[in-house]
Amino acid sequence: MSCPFCVLCLPGLLRLPGLLCPSGVRCVSGLLCSLGLPCPLELLCPLWRLSVAETRLLSEAPDTARVLRRFWPHLRPYRGRIAVALVTTALATAAVVGIAPMIGAGVDAVLAGDRSALWLAVGVLAGLTLLRLILLAAAELQLTAVGERVVRGVRELVVGRLASAPLRFIEAHRTGDLLRRGTGEVAELAQFVRASLPDLLGALISLGMTVVVLLAYSWLLTLVLLALFVPAAVLVLRWFGRDADDAFGDQAAAEATMTAQFTELVTAGETLRLGGGTAARLERFAHANDEALRSANRSVAVQNRLEAMALLEGLATAALLLLGVWLVTTDQVSVGTVVVFVLATRNLFEGMVNLSELLAELRIARVGLARLLDLLAATERTEPPARAELPPRAELSTSDLGYAYVDGVEVLHGVRVEFPVGDRAGLVGETGSGKTTLAKLLSGLYSPDRGTVSYGGVDLAEVSDSALRGRVVLVPQQVHLVRGTVADNLAIAPGEPDRDRMVQAVSALGVDDWVASLPDGLDTPVGRRGERLSAGERQIVGLVRAALVDPAVLILDEATADIDPVTAARLERAVDRLHEGRTLIVIAHRTATIERLPRVVTLADGRVV
C-alpha cells in the first residue's frame, strides 16, 4: 500500500530524496518512489502510526454485530411513526396473502357450479387487490418519510462531527475514505431505506402469514413443504450468508481506497505534472481500481448463490402437484386447496428469494452502517466541564510541552515559553524545527502528548472550542477559502458577522483600497479554493476574519512568505493595526518581518534555544 501522506508530502509528490518529510524523517526513498514502489517510510508515517490516545483510527472493516441495535438511538425519536408503518405494512401483506385463498375459493365454486360463491370470491378478490395497493402505497410513504428524516439527521450529525473533529483525526485519514463514509455510506443508507426497507418488512410478514394460511388448508401438504424444501432453502441462505459480510465489507473498503487514490490524484494534479510523478500515481490508482473490481466480482459471485432458490421452487411446485393430485383423487382435499397451495408456494418461494435478495442488500447496508457508526464513534467528543469565563486578555504559556507525529519520535521536547499580554514575539527556526506544530498547539488545534498549554492559567484541554476560538486565533500560511464571495468567506468567522461588521473590520485594518480594487468589492467571487485571489490576498482575508473575532492572541504562520513586496507591506501594516491591545506571535523567515518584532523565540530541533 502506498503512503497516503504523499498528497501532503513534498518528497512523496516530487520523488526527491533527502528532503524533510512532515514525519520528521528525511526521505531517502526517492529512487523507490520514482519506480512507483511503496514508500518504506510509511511504517513511520504519522498517518499510519499516530501516538496519541485522542486519535482513534477508523477500521477498514468495522464490526457489523448488533449494528442495527447500535443504530436504534437514531431511530428512537420516530418509533411511533415506525410502528404505524409496520402495522400498515402488515395489513397490506395480509391483503396480498389473502388473494390465493380467494382464487382457490373461486375454483371450488366453479367446479361446484355455485355462481353466488363465485361472484363473492371475485368481489373479495377485487377488494383485496385494491386494498393492497392503497395500504402498500401508504406504508411505503410512511417508511420513506421516516427514513429520509433519519438519514437527514445522520447526515447533519456526520458533517457536524467531522467539522469539530480533532485536526489529528482529519490528518490521519485519507480524504477519500472520509468522503466515502460521510456521503457515500449515507447515500446508500438513504437508498436502502427508500427502496428496500418497505419490501424487506413486507417479505418477512408475508412469509409468516403464508405459512399460517397453508396450515389452515392442509397440514399434510404444509408439513411436506416445510420438511423437504424449507431446510434446503435455509442451507442456501446460510451458504450465502457465510461469505456475504466479508465480501461486501471488502468491496466497501476497496471502493473507499479507490476513491481516496482518485481524490489524491486530482488534488495533487499540478504538482504531479511538475514533478513527473503522474505515471506512478496512475499505476497506483489502476491497482486500487483492479482491487475494487475483484472485490465487486466476489460480491456478485456470493450474491448469485441465491439463484439456487429458483431450482428449489420448481422442485417444490412439482412435488406439491403430484401429491395434490393424489389427495384430490382420494377426496382428502379439494382442487381449490391444491390451487391455493401452488399459488401460495410460489408466493412463499418468491418471498424467500426476495427476502434473500433484500437480505443481501441489508448486509451491504449493514456494512455501510457499521462504517458510518465507526466514523460517528471515532469523532464523538464531549465538551469539557464549564469553568469560569476566560479573561478577555491573559498570558498564553506552555509547560514541558511534548508532541510526536510518530510513536516515539518527538518533534517538540519539553518546550516552555510564555507570551505575556500585549507581547509581540517572533517564532523563528529552520524548516522542520517545530514552529508550525507549536503554533497549532498554542491555538488548540493539536492536543499535546505531554505538558500543557494554558491561557490565563487555564489548561486549553479544559476549554470549549467556542470559548477558545474567541481568545486565540491562528492565521495559517495557507488560508483556506470556500467557493463563494469574499463576504461569504468572511462570514465563516465566529459570531456570524453582518455586512457592517465586515466593512468596519476592513476599515480597521486599512485594507479598504484592496477591497475597492476588487471587481465587485466584498461580493467578488473567490473561485474554487480561492484560486481567483493571490496568496497575499488570501492572507488578507484571513486577517480580516481574525479582526472580526477580536482575539486576545493572534498567531500568524508565515503570513508574508512567498508573496510580492507590495502585498507583504500591506499585510504588515494590517498586522500593525491588528496587534494593538493583543498578543501577537509571528512565524516568519523574512528578515524585514522579524526586525519589526521586539522579541524573538528561537526553535532548534524542537527545543527553545
| Spatial distance between the Cα atoms of 281 and 265, rounded to a whole number of angstroms | 7
Residue 7 banded pLDDT, cuts 50, 70, 90: very low
- Region 555-584: what's the mean pLDDT? 71
Looking at residue 578, what is its pLDDT? 67
- Which SS3 state, helix, strand or coil, does residue 15 take? coil
CA dihedral sign, ordered 201, 204, 210, 213: negative
Residue 53 banded pLDDT, cuts 50, 70, 90: very low
Q: Which grid cell is 593?
A: 518581518
Q: Are 42 and 12 in contact (CB under 8 A)?
A: no
| Spatial distance between the Cα atoms of 245 and 239, rounded to a whole number of angstroms | 12
Which tops the pLDDT comparison, 404 or 352? Answer: 404
Q: Are 118 and 105 in contact (CB under 8 A)?
A: no
| Spatial distance between the Cα atoms of 45 and 3, rounded to a whole number of angstroms | 8
- Which SS3 state, helix, strand or coil, does residue 409 take? strand
Question: What tens digit of pLDDT does each residue of 254-275 get?
Answer: 887 888 778 777 777 766 676 6
| Spatial distance between the Cα atoms of 437 and 89, rounded to a whole number of angstroms | 58
Looking at residue 497, what is its pLDDT? 83
Task: Report whether pLDDT(386) > 50.
Answer: yes
Which domains does the chain carry? Answer: 4-43 (no CATH), 149-378 (1.20.1560.10), 396-608 (3.40.50.300)
- Which SS3 state, helix, strand or coil, does residue 68 take? helix
Give phi and psi for 604, each to the nearest 5. Answer: -145, 120
- Which SS3 state, helix, strand or coil, does residue 454 take? strand
Residue 564 banded pLDDT, cuts 50, 70, 90: low
Residues 6+ apart with CB under 8 A from 568: 536, 560, 590, 592, 593
- Region 207-235: what's the mean pLDDT? 78
Which tops the pLDDT comparison, 226 or 425? Answer: 425
Looking at residue 51, what is its pLDDT? 39
Looking at residue 276, what is its pLDDT? 66
Looking at residue 14, what is its pLDDT? 35
Q: Are 39 and 2 in contact (CB under 8 A)?
A: yes
Written as one letter, the residue type at 24 is G
| Spatial distance between the Cα atoms of 522 and 489, rounded to a whole number of angstroms | 10
- Cα atoms in the 13 Å half-sphere on the side-chain side of 26: 6
Looking at residue 19, what is its pLDDT? 35
Q: Which grid cell is 372?
A: 458510518
Q: For residue 414, how far is the Cα from the chain centroid?
A: 36
Which tops the pLDDT comparison, 516 or 311? Answer: 516
| Spatial distance between the Cα atoms of 252 and 270, rounded to a whole number of angstroms | 29
Of residues 341, 297, 350, 292, the one with CA closest to residue 319: 341
Q: How far is CA 138 from CA 99, 142, 333, 573, in A?
A: 19, 6, 38, 66
Q: How far is CA 63 from CA 66, 70, 319, 374, 430, in A?
A: 9, 11, 42, 9, 45
Which tops the pLDDT comparison, 157 or 307? Answer: 157
Task: Report whether pLDDT(290) > 60.
Answer: yes
| Spatial distance between the Cα atoms of 403 and 168, rounded to a whole number of angstroms | 12
Question: What tens digit of pLDDT does each residue of 364-384 get?
Answer: 777 778 888 888 888 877 665
Residues 6+ apart with CB under 8 A from 232: 312
- Which SS3 state, helix, strand or coil, does residue 413 take? strand
Question: What tens digit of pLDDT does each residue of 71-118 get?
Answer: 888 778 888 887 887 788 788 888 878 888 888 888 888 888 888 888
Report the chain's mean pLDDT, rounded to a whole number: 76
Q: For residue 229, how far is the Cα from the chain centroid?
A: 43
Q: How many residues comprise the chain?
A: 609
Written as one letter, the residue type at 140 is E
| Spatial distance between the Cα atoms of 448 and 53, rounded to a whole number of angstroms | 11
Residue 5 banded pLDDT, cuts 50, 70, 90: very low
Residue 562 banded pLDDT, cuts 50, 70, 90: low
DSSP alpha helix (H) spans, 471-608: 486-490, 499-509, 512-517, 535-549, 565-578, 591-595
Task: Report whether pLDDT(548) > 80.
Answer: yes
Q: For residue 562, how far is the Cα from the chain centroid?
A: 35
Q: What is the dihedral of CA 397, 399, 400, 402, to 10 degrees?
A: -50
The percentage of residues in the chain with a pLDDT greater than 90, rounded to a whole number, is 1
Q: Rounded to the nearest 5 degrees, what angle is found at the Cα of 296, between the Cα atoms of 291 and 300?
A: 150
Query: What is the Cα Rg of the chain in Å?
Result: 33
Looking at residue 384, what is its pLDDT? 58
pTM above threshold 0.75: no
Question: What tens digit of pLDDT does each residue of 314-349 get?
Answer: 777 777 777 777 877 877 778 877 787 777 777 777
- Provide the 8-state DSSP code for 537: H
User: Which residues make beta-bridge pairs with 600?
Assistant: 426
Q: Rounded to the nearest 5 degrees, what angle is found at the Cα of 157, between the Cα atoms of 153 and 159?
A: 120
Q: Are 292 and 251 in contact (CB under 8 A)?
A: yes
Question: What tens digit of pLDDT does each residue of 446-483 get?
Answer: 888 889 999 988 888 888 877 888 888 888 877 888 88
Q: Are 433 and 471 in contact (CB under 8 A)?
A: no
Which tops the pLDDT comparison, 299 or 319? Answer: 299
- Provide the 8-state DSSP code for 361: H
Looking at residue 382, what is its pLDDT? 67
Of residues 99, 92, 316, 351, the one with CA closest to residue 107: 99
Looking at residue 274, what is its pLDDT? 65
- Region 34-45: what's the mean pLDDT? 41
